[in-house]
Amino acid sequence: MTPVQEVPKELGGWGEELSPAVIGARVKALREAAELSLRDLTARSGVSAPMLSQVERGETSPTLTVASRIAAGLDLRLSQLLRLDEGSSVTVVRKPQRQRGGNTRGGHRFEVLTAGQPGQRAELSLHTLAPGAATGAADDQPMHEPGSRETALIEQGSVTLLCDGQRYELGEGDCVTFDADLPHHFENPGDEEAAFLAVVSAGLRRS
């Protein structure tokens, strides 16, 4: 059984792994990834902007209460914010370990290339479409959560993105970014197999 890690009242007591600089850099990276300003995070967490600024710059080690509020403002558990429930800072997913799915009869296959780590805000997947096939079948992945953004890079063939009623024709090497919580799917209009990489950044609650 994995031992439960207890968090001290002053997080700086964890040493270099949770030094003020490390905590601050992580808070800033998560805030910016969520496209939140300091004022936004203040409204969501109840932690003042000056305090957040000091934490992000590594000038102070937040108390347990402050860190918990910041985590809540980012829609994370405290353990996720501080990466206490991750076994390592590096995670490798071998090819045989990939999660696979899709609608084989419908001509869509996908592989999730990243591991499902706590607090991870993005997922990378590889999609393959047979000629005339499309994503969005009943056994495909569900629609993404509110606020999600998706970036797709076409690696092979031609792909059409239908997003919120608009069509976008994409060729090999083209890259597109869009709001993934809008109705959307990809189609392969060509006579050859198409493939694309997709990165979905998870959304955060908006106040």
CA–CA distance from 206 to each of 26, 33, 44, 68, 106 (Å)? Answer: 20, 14, 8, 18, 36
Supply the pTM of this predicted model: 0.59
Report all structural domains of the chain as residue ranges with CATH numbers, in order of start.
Answer: 11-81 (1.10.260.40), 95-201 (2.60.120.10)
| pLDDT tens for each residue of 126-159 | 999 999 999 985 444 545 777 788 999 999 999 9
Most confident among 102-106, 110-114, 158-162 (mean pLDDT): 158-162
Measured at the alpha carbon of residue 51, what is the angle toward residues 11 and 27, in degrees to the nearest 5? 60
pLDDT of residue 137: 58
pLDDT given at position 122? 83
Average pLDDT over residues 159-188: 94
